């Protein structure tokens, strides 16, 4: 496909998403949303998703996030001094020597990475199964967010 064949607003959307990685303000979000809405041939998945009954989306979201309707519970800091005074009051911990060798720390690091990879894979598999439970009958395929920036 030649770049000239792609409408200018779709090119704008692709540039926005590649530069921001999906993190944007409200005005840019609205612009991207209008580009998607005005170009159904370029965004068929999004239009198919939007065409489904709201009850399907609500059932999926309620099962995925059962507490999504509850207000956030903000916990206060332990002390009222603030972050910097709390850090200043702590004992110096930067001068202590490590209790294990660099090689042992490296092995721990590699084990932790592998454990996190397995956990992410399990979460991804359960998310896909939940998606399929609600959307497979509408032939809306699962889209992994594995490759999106975190």
- Two tokens, residue 34: 């209008």
124-139 pLDDT per residue, tens: 999 999 999 999 999 9
Structural domain boundaries of the chain?
1-51
53-68 pLDDT per residue, tens: 999 999 999 999 998 8
15-28 pLDDT per residue, tens: 998 898 888 899 99
List the one residue out of 54, 126, 48, 19 whose CA is nearest residue 144: 126
**Stretch 88-112: mean pLDDT, rounded?**
77
Predicted local distance difference test score (pLDDT) of residue 43: 94
pLDDT grade, residue 101 (50/70/90)?
confident
For 96: left if phi > 0, alpha if psi spans -120 to 50, otherwise beta; the answer is beta
pLDDT grade, residue 79 (50/70/90)?
low
């Amino acid at each position: 496909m030649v770049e000239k064949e792609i409408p200018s607003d779709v090119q704008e959307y692709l540039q926005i998403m590649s530069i921001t990685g999906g993190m944007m303000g409200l005005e840019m979000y609205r612009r991207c949303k209008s580009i998607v809405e005005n170009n159904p041939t370029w965004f068929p998945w999004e239009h198919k998703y939007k065409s489904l009954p709201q009850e399907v989306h609500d059932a999926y979201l309620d099962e995925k996030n059962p507490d999504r309707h509850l207000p956030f519970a903000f916990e206060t800091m332990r002390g009222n001094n603030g972050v910097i005074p709390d850090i200043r009051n702590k004992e110096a911990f930067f001068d202590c020597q490590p209790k294990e060798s660099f090689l042992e720390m490296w092995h721990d690091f590699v084990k932790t990475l592998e454990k996190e990879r397995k956990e992410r894979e399990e979460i991804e598999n359960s998310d896909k199964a939940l998606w399929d439970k609600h959307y497979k009958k509408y032939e809306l395929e699962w889209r992994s967010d594995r490759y999106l920036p975190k």
